[in-house]
Amino acid sequence: MAWANRLIFRASRLNPFSMSSEVADNKPQEFEREPVPTHHLKSWKSFLGMYAGEHAAGTEFMIGPLFLTTGVSAFDLIVGLLLGNFMAVLSWRYLTAEIAVKQRLTLYYQLEKICGKNLVSLYNIANGILFCFLAGSMITVSATAVGVPFDMEMPKLTDTLPNSTTWVIIVLCVGAVIALIAAKGYNTVAKAANWMSPLIVLGFILAGIVALNDLNIRSFNDFWNIWGEGQDPFPGQIKFSFWHVVLWSWFCNGAMHIGMSDLSVFRFARNASSGWTTAAAMYVGHYMAWISASLLYAVYLQSPEAITLLSTRHAPTVAPGPMAYNALGVFGILVVVMAGWTTANPTIYRAGLAFQSIFPKASTSTVTIVAGVVATIAGLFPAIAMKLLDFVALYGFILSPVGAIIIVELYLLPKVGIAPNWAERTGINFNWSVMFSWAISVGLCYTISVFAGVFLSFLVLPAWIGCGLIYFLMKKSSKHDYN
């Protein structure tokens, strides 16, 4: 999924497509505060490879198995993922890419024009913290692979705290390596990821094939019966229905598409049709890779250890390292380490840039190390990775409503005579209308989630629509906003 691999770009200093003559001359032009000029635009091929590679990463090794723990049925999973991922592709194509090619600005700069610098700083704090937690979960994933040769006790699905000294040492070592490499800058991170991505995709394909053989799958009916009509969720998990799968898979990347973070990516596209390339991400990473990882876990669930745990009403471990090792041997360990690395490393780097926007005098390497320390501490607590479905739902829920503000500013307010980019026009640093709109919509929907027991993915779209509607009504009722 690697949805964090591109968020903010602080705004676009991280543009992975800008590998042209500017880089060779060591004079990169990332156009952080201006529209991307025509001669720097990229074809759809530049986006296809990036999306396909970045969304088959460490998170996939956790998400696939976690679907099985929710007791999802075959129809709900297979058809639900088809529909949910398609809705995500449509969101990228007809919302994010359309706005990106018209404005050609980074998310950061677009928000600054609307919200003001101080409010954008709060946005970056939220991004930076969430980045660190996501990176921490991927450090957890990599640690399960590194721990295999040491016969380390793997964290259980219900574990919250570190379960052994060995676990702590391995997580600290993995986190330190990732943070130090991230601190060397994006070029180092990007080069390594480009080499690793094809191997990771190959690993998912091979793991799926091996798992099918281990499960004695000889027909489509055999494959379908792995999930069958579903079952009770594992202890500590909620039951997923068809709509849980659809809405979760649609909005797990909500911050990037309806939240507009990928404006920073698609501003380099020649036309909005490049948005269709996100289908490579959804159906390689969020379909093939999730199902492959789910098959690996299905193999583990047939082991004596897992059967014993289930018989005593305990949730079996979800540990990508041992599962991949059982399927692919040492190559499986390497794939899990690389998958976790390619997600955690750029995520820590981008967290550092988000923090640097708040402390501009600090060096990039310093803030990246700080972000790495926070992520490593988070990685010590396996609950973040084991509750990744919930965390991703929360992530999209918090950040997605910002995209509705952008749509209202650029498309709706001009129709009633209000010019866009209010903060830029008035010179303010904090657009309180944005803050109130976000706080009211998110606060209300989160309250519903807590007290009515509604899974957050069901509330992402209501929060998004509510945020945009409240903002529109507030600006429309304010007379001094009109031209």
Element (H, E) at 126: helix 117-146
Query: How many Å apart are CA 196 and CA 45, to the nearest integer?
Result: 19
In which band, very low, low, confident or very high, does the pLDDT at 195 lie, cut at 50, 70 and 90?
A: confident
Options 1.10.4160.10, 2.40.110.10, 1.10.1740.10, 3.30.365.10; CATH for 3-399 is 1.10.4160.10
Q: Which residues pair with 269 in a beta bridge?
A: 42
Choose among 290, 230, 219, 250: nearest CA to 75: 230
Q: Please state the pTM of the whole predicted model.
A: 0.85
Q: What are the boundaries of each domain within the chain? A: 3-399, 401-483
* CB distance 2 to 342 below 8 Å: yes
* CB distance 71 to 233 below 8 Å: yes
The CA–CA distances, whole Å, from 277 to 204, 244, 474 equal 20, 25, 36
Average pLDDT, the chain: 85
Rg of the chain over all Cα atoms, to the nearest angstrom: 22
The counts of H helices and E strands in the chain are 24, 0
* CB distance 344 to 139 below 8 Å: yes
Query: How many Å apart are CA 269 and CA 45, to the nearest integer?
Result: 10
What percent of the chain shows pLDDT beyond 90? Answer: 42
> Which of the residue ranges 63-67, 187-191, 373-377, 384-388 would you say has the lowest mean pLDDT?
187-191
Choose among 388, 384, 394: nearest CA to 449: 394
Greatest CA span in the chain, whole angstroms?
72
Find the mean pLDDT for residues 190-198: 72
> Which of the residue ranges 15-29, 211-225, 380-394 would you say has the lowest mean pLDDT?
15-29
